[in-house]
Amino acid sequence: MSKMTKKDLEKYKGKKIIFKRVSSGEDIKVKISSWGADYKFKTLYEKPSSWFSTFPTIKAKIVTSGEDVKLEQTDSSWFNDFEIYFE
């Protein structure tokens, strides 16, 4: 059973986060969707790093059904809820 809900992700709005892909022991189950998404995200292609702050890491299981949250990928820097780096 997942430990997080889509409501829990709301506290990360406007932030960069890291999704560590796992096959079990996930914090949340995620479905990447092109419509009907709960949140929109932009993919980061480089791991965010900063000497003065840390970025939250969430263990995510990518699924095709039975998801806790649906995410839609965008290319926009302005119209997304999160920026996510996938490990």
Quote the pLDDT of residue 42: 96
Q: In terms of residue numbers, what domain contains 24?
A: 14-86
- Domain assignment present for residue 9? The answer is no
Contact of 46 with 83, CB cutoff 8 Å: no
- Number of domains observed in the structure of the chain: 1
Q: Establish if 36 belongs to a structural domain.
A: yes
| Series of mean pLDDT values for 10-residue runs along the chain (87 residues) | 87 95 97 95 90 87 97 89 95
pLDDT of residue 57: 94
Please report whether residue 62 resides in a domain: yes
Q: How many Å separate Cα 41 from the centre of its chain?
A: 7
Q: Does residue 60 form part of some domain?
A: yes
Residue 7, in any domain of the structure:
no
Q: Is 66 a member of any domain?
A: yes
